[in-house]
Amino acid sequence: MTMTRLLLLPLLTLFVFSASVLAAAEKPNIVWIFSDDHSYQTIGAYGGRLASLNPSPNIDRLALEGMRFDRAYVGNSICGPSRATLLTGKHSHLNGKYDNGRGGFDHDQQQFQKILRKTGYQTVMVGKIHLDGNMQGFDYWEVLPGQGKYYDPEFITEEGRTRYAGEYVSDVVTDRALDWLQNKRDEDKPFMLMIHHKAPHRNWDPADRHMAKYEDIDIPEPDNLFDTYLNRGTAARLQDMSIEKTMTLGNDLKVEGRWVDNPRFAKRAKWFAENKPQGKDLVRWKYQTYMKDFMRCTWGVDENIGRVLQTLKQMDLEDNTIVMYSSDQGFYMGEHGWFDKRFMYEESFRTPLIARWPGRIKPGSVNTDLVQNIDFAETFLDLAGAAIPDDMQGKSLVPLLKGQTPADWRSSLYYNYYEYPAVHSVRRHEGVTGKRYKLIRFYGLDVPNGEEWEFYDLENDPAEMNNTYNKPRNAAIIAALKEELQRLKADYKVTEPPAQVRRKARTQRKKAPQK
């Protein structure tokens, strides 16, 4: 070896080391904040009838400093399956998690966080995941068992359970996430920190400090609070998720049973006992009470998002961290007279999605491309510079985040809901939607002739009040959508649910709620 090469060797080594350090530094940290059942209607940045109530100042700040997605959807509007899709980048029929009640989640399968770890990322999950079994692929995880509790919550780790007595769940989720960030993080590695809130899941039990919020105001009602379901099918008429009939005075609205002696709800219970509203007055009272408790819970989430943003800034992590906010699906805020989710109608099918990435995302930008929760895993991998497995079914959102929509971006989405018979009695259905037209096929048990079809023109009927499937003028559009539905099913390799799921559904038919 010549003297020149010997002299250059330390310089080359230094260059390689410096390049690797620079590459690691350029990989963004990812903070993924996920809530349970948070509706886009109760986020100020999305506008609408509730925006004037200022329900979400910190989430709105993320939108002001980043990008709001106006066409973000899920593939199966129910908690456990949505979270399985988040981890795997696959629809329910491929990741095996069809519904909340039948069958567990195969943790041994491929998941994005396992791949991230191999690229040098620290991976952390704190909060609600609603998937039984020990998490895999995380350097640290601390999760709620099942649905978790609002007060005195328990958390599970690999070491066991810890109960946080006297504390509120949204605060504890954030406390535990920030404890890892401030005290356990390896500062030489980028990180993926997943902060998953229980709120605002039913039964909407707010923190003490938020009980007075919205007390002296009337929440605007949706135009179709008293929907009669004319021009809709069997599923809409026979569901069991109405504010009028399904929402309980006890556990939901807290004016009966054990709640009467709870000092937080004593004033409410006293008023109800003295006034006893009936008919439409009762529905309106239930709506007001539900909405106020729901938004008090979301206020607790938003408040804690502010804590996370403040901590990132204080730790000088803000500029190299992408913060993303979403929910496991949408939720009904009285539209069609409903609460809950499950349907392919917009309020539950669509989910909020907001991202801030300083220097990469244009502040105040809005994206209207069709995106879906099958895209999240691929996005995380792309952000980390990791290869995306061919069997993942979504697309990376990174080009969209940078304001560049690929020429081959999707023009339609596929949906399939499986959980019937079960709570809320929403019939099984699948469908296809573009930006304007939506076609839904209800199938299986308790559907006349085995299937019913619904068709909506979202431009002329955004509230989906008028099914025009049988109108001759729509025949050509419907035929094209049916072809697209079959194409998507072939592309996504859609299969029938496992035999045991279908068999269990048949045995439970007589137990399904009837109306």
The CATH number for 479's domain is 3.30.1120
Classify 397 as helix, strand or coil: coil
User: Cα–Cα distances in Å, from 349 out to 38, 71, 327, 369, 431?
Assistant: 12, 10, 11, 15, 11
Can you give the three-state secondary structure of 102-125, one letter per residue?
Answer: CCCCCCCCCCHHHHHHHCCCEEEE
Same domain, 307 and 276: no
DSSP state of 101: S
Instruction: Name the percent of the chain lying above pLDDT 70.
Output: 91
**Cα first-last separation, the chain:** 89
Q: Are strands 437-443 and 429-433 parallel, antiparallel or unpaired?
A: antiparallel
Question: Are 263 and 323 within one domain?
Answer: no
| Residue 495 belongs to a domain | yes
Looking at the structure, do residues 99 and 240 belong to the same domain, yes or no?
Answer: no
d(C-alpha 200, C-alpha 204), whole Å: 6
Residues 404 and 479 in one domain: no
Is the domain of 198 the same as that of 308?
yes
Instruction: State CA 205 to chain mean position distance.
Output: 19
Express each pLDDT in 299-346 by its tens digit: 999 999 999 999 999 999 999 999 999 999 999 999 999 999 999 999
Entry field: residues in the chain: 515
Say yes or no: 213 and 167 in one domain: no
Q: Which domain, by its residues, includes 486?
A: 416-511
- Counting beta carbons within 10 angstroms of the beta carbon of residue 359, is it exposed (0 to 12), middle (13 to 18) or buried (19 or more)? exposed
pLDDT of residue 496: 86
Indicate whether 7 belongs to any domain: no
Boundary (domain end) residue, out of 365, 393, 410? 410
How far is Cα 318 from Cα 28, in angstroms, rounded to an integer?
Answer: 10
CA distances from 172 to 78, 142, 157, 264, 436 (A): 24, 11, 14, 20, 42
Return the pLDDT at 501: 53
* Pair of tokens at residue 163: 């109960």
Question: Which position has the higher pLDDT, 19 or 462?
Answer: 462
Based on the fold, state whether residues 445 and 303 are members of the same structural domain. Answer: no
pLDDT at residue 400, rounded to an integer: 98
Tally of domains in the chain: 3
- Residue 200: predicted pLDDT: 98
Widest pairwise Cα distance in the chain: 98
CA-based radius of gyration for the chain = 24
- Whole-number Å distance between alpha carbons of 146 and 105: 13
Q: What is the pLDDT of residues 253-298, one digit of tens each?
A: 999 999 999 999 999 999 999 999 999 999 999 999 999 999 999 9
- 189 shares its domain with 245: no
pLDDT score for 469: 98
Percentage of residues of the chain with pLDDT beyond 90: 89
CATH number at residue 159: 3.40.720.10
pLDDT band of residue 10 (cuts 50, 70, 90) is very low
Whole-prediction pTM: 0.92
- Tell me what pLDDT residue 446 has: 77
- Give me the mean pLDDT over the 82-92 stretch: 98
463: pLDDT strictly greater than 70: yes
Q: Which two tokens stand for residue 40?
A: 């886009």
